[in-house]
Amino acid sequence: MEINAGTYYLRQLRADRHIDDRPPLMEAFADPTHRKYVLNYRLRTLDEATEYVALRAAQWAGDERCSWAIAEPTSGRLLGEVGLRELDLAAQYAEATIWVHPTERGKGIATTALNAALRFGFGGLGLTEVSYRYEESNTASAIVAERCGFTLVGPEPTPAPTGERLIRWHRTS
Ligand SMILES: CC(C)(COP(=O)(O)OP(=O)(O)OC[C@H]1O[C@@H](n2cnc3c(N)ncnc32)[C@H](O)[C@@H]1OP(=O)(O)O)[C@@H](O)C(=O)NCCC(=O)NCCS
């Protein structure tokens, strides 16, 4: 499912002869800030990146998670990734996730892409609630949550694996 996101477009992650997202994925996942806040994956080799692209496709197919590459419109170059995870179509709920390639941050890409994914979640999937969580020190993430219309819920009872407080925001349809 492709989505227009203003200056950008959202598409499935790809590793084929026309577009290969694996090199920019590996660059992003090697970045210290990315590694600090995105804990669940290691993409150090082309094989690990291949598995990551395949995992995201399988999660789409299983209605577990919608994930989009945020793409530059003329070249299709990967600028980041946005998603709706913990997808529960029956409960009409998901949790939003976002990261932006280190060389592309601070240009409003996260705000634009997350807003487009939320429009799809509420309008296309019929979700009624989307949450967004981040470690307390993640100032950029807090700014994005506020700009995307989320409301602060507060700290989660259980800290993140890093030991930091996890802050929850949510948005309803
Ligand atoms: C969080 C993240 C997705 C934001 O992406 P982005 O495209 O740079 O976001 P935007 O440009 O839409 O907005 C970010 C805002 O935060 C500001 N900002 C960034 N880092 C900041 C910091 N350390 N302190 C204060 N403000 C900061 C930016 O200047 C920008 O505000 P501005 O438009 O007024 O200049 C990106 O920083 C990222 O990928 N971080 C690593 C992964 C991550 O943390 N993901 C979120 C997990 S919950």
- For every residue of 97-135, DSSP letters joined together read EEEE-GGGTTSSHHHHHHHHHHHIIIIIS--SEEEEEEE
Among 143, 74, 145, 151, residue whose Cα is nearest residue 114: 145
* 173 C-alpha to ligand 1 centroid (Å): 24
Q: What is the mean pLDDT of each run of 10 residues along the chain (173 residues)?
A: 90 95 97 94 95 97 95 95 97 98 97 97 97 97 97 95 94 94
The verdict on the CB of residue 69 being under 6 Å from ligand 1 is: no
Q: How many CB atoms lie within 10 A of CB 26?
A: 16
Domain count, the chain: 1
Among 157, 134, 143, 105, residue whose Cα is nearest residue 36: 134
pLDDT at 141: 97
pLDDT at 63: 93
Among 129, 93, 127, 134, residue whose Cα is nearest residue 110: 134
User: What is the value of pTM for the model shown?
Assistant: 0.96
Which residue's alpha carbon is nearest to atom 30 within ligand 1?
Answer: 106
CATH number, position 98: 3.40.630.30
pLDDT at 134: 96
* 82 C-alpha to ligand 1 centroid (Å): 14
Distance, in Å, from the CA atom of 71 to the CA atom of 85, rounded to the nearest integer, reads 20
* 90 C-alpha to ligand 1 centroid (Å): 32
* 8 C-alpha to ligand 1 centroid (Å): 17
The verdict on the CB of residue 42 being under 6 Å from ligand 1 is: no
What is the domain range of residue 125? Answer: 3-172
pLDDT at 162: 87
69 burial via Cβ count (<10 Å: 0-12, 13-18, 19+): buried
Which residue's alpha carbon is nearest to atom 34 within ligand 1?
Answer: 106
